[in-house]
Structure 1
């Protein structure tokens, strides 16, 4: 934590260690340390780091934000608007490829010559694995660098979509075997967000920031627009540690809630998005 935390330069590590060690008193097993680990996660102050025990239990610290919202208003079918929903997803491997391909399949199914633009619905996307999301939405997002991870020292690592694959700094992450190409390239895109758009959902939201012919509608996102890296510990437990801040293609940093271009609630956000695509 002291070496890699996103807040490593601002935390008082002497006080941090003292508080965590005090919580460890009497611990006789790894399981006995869980309260101290949860305290450490709280003291990190990033709201995003977590710890998965060797038996699969997910532990968080005390969080100062909540990533929840009401049920999203459905987007009405319109022959002039393509609609695609990108939900949260936490799988990997083959499951991640299948998830990416399912998004591209829904894009292909919705695409027609009469479409004037697209609505990308990220409401309720609580995050998980961003790479299949990015690979899936790529045909609408377009090719090239869409954002960056930036650490506290200012080192930037890019993320991109190219030829059916999501990419981190030239390294392919998830790839669709037969990527779809839109009938009309570089389309008009309206993005929908709400308070339940979090973490990787926010990464996809940011991917559309500063894209041409694009506008976002809804409410601000949850505020977990930071990046986690996983560290496997000696007993098989995993520390998911927040190490960097998400930035858009212009390297504008986020780290907090991502604000929409137009703030509206529920049905009004949908109506405004539809009207903008059609105008």
Structure 2
């Protein structure tokens, strides 16, 4: 799943780049969370539902200024004039999202959400792996992180354990493989890797409002604007601070993986190898709607 994963619920968290799950009355945050048990709510009319969703997109999407909202609303309301349920508005929601011209923003139906957060999806989520290259150089493969609480804990625990194993011979250089990593939740990735660069600082980001947000690590836990974001701590310190870190990237390195890469860039001991990344170093907020559907909106860009 792409970046619903960022959709970490907010408890602030997501499955999808960096994400946060919001209720309709919350402000965007940079995180990921599990969908909460849904409370009984009064059924919205199709018109009320669409009005609420369009408002959420306009208020939270990074590219909201690209859209002719008056025209979008007029066309959408005409199209659903006879609609009797929220499900009948989904095509208009997708059209509004398409107007943003942002491939990192999308809409999930209730069925999509159920599939994305199922036990089967959590069990099948990829985990970090590692091996020695030529018997000398440790290589860590960092795949996408799904953004569900249990899967993200396993992700960090597995990555930290593999790092310890590969660190036994006190290597002075590491290879980090981000190729094919399509994103998800950046914080498990950063938590596994935050001891590799010369500094533990992560990538700053910018909300669509222009407010700068700062990330950083403390006691093995990544923080965002002072809030702990790591699913579990990774306090392990490499035996020897790496003199060299090689980051492998390609055109499928995107979203949260690019945000993770940003944390490495500019360090004197880091070099990148491969192909240009996808250019989607942005973060998502995931908003759970009244009928169980989700909006996954690009709301921040990594800098």
Partners of 1:23 and 1:109 lie apart in 2 by: 59
1:238 to 270, 290, 294: 294
Unaligned runs of 5+ in 1: 59-73, 248-279
Matches within 5 A, 1:112-261: 112-113=168-169, 115-141=171-197, 143-177=199-233, 179-247=235-303
User: Would the aligned equivalents of 2:221 and 2:234 in 1 still touch at CA under 8 Å?
Assistant: no
Give the alignment's TM-score, normalised by structure 1.
0.76
Which residue of 2 is the match for residue 42 of structure 1?
Answer: 98
Structure 2 CA distance, aligned partners of 1:141 and 1:175? 20
Distance 1:102 1:168, change over 3 A: same
Q: Say if 1:142 and 1:186, in contact at 8 Å, map to a contact too.
A: yes
Q: CA RMSD in A?
A: 2.3
Match of 1:33 among 89, 93, 98: 89
Give distance in 2, aligned partners of 1:93 and 1:196. Answer: 24
- Are the equivalent residues in 2 in contact too, given 1:130–1:204 (CA < 8 A)? yes
Distance 2:168 2:145 in 1: 27
Larger CA deviation: 11-20 vs 231-240: 11-20
- Higher alpha-carbon deviation: 165-174 or 88-97: 88-97
CA distance in 2, matches of 1:22, 1:166: 47
| 1:164–1:175 Cα contact (<8 Å) kept | no
Number of equivalenced pairs: 232
Q: CA deviation at 1:223?
A: 2.2
Equivalent residue of 1:100, what SS?
Answer: helix
Which deviations, in whole Å up to 9, do the C-alpha atoms of 1:2-29 show, x marking residues without a partner? 1121012332222232343344344322
Q: Which stretch has the larger CA shift, 8-17 or 193-202?
A: 8-17
The aligned counterpart of 1:69 is none
SS at 2:201 equivalent? strand
**Counterpart Cα distance in 1 of 2:160 and 2:243:** 15
Return the alpha-carbon distance in structure 2 between the equivalents of residues 87 and 25 of structure 1. Answer: 45
Q: 1:55 aligns with which of 96, 99, 111?
A: 111
Residue 122 of structure 1: how far off its partner (Å): 0.3
Matched, 1:103 2:159: yes
For 2:69, the equivalent position in structure 1 comes to 13
Q: 1:23 to 1:227 in 2, by over 3 A?
A: farther
Q: 1:239 to 1:175 in 2, by over 3 A?
A: closer
Higher relative contact order (Cα pairs below 8 Å, separated by 6+ residues): 2
Native 8 Å contact 1:148 1:159 kept in 2: yes
Conserved in 2, the CA contact under 8 Å of 1:231 and 1:239?
A: yes
Residues 100 and 135 in structure 1, CA contact (< 8 A), matched pair in contact too: yes
Residue 33 of structure 2 is matched in structure 1 by none
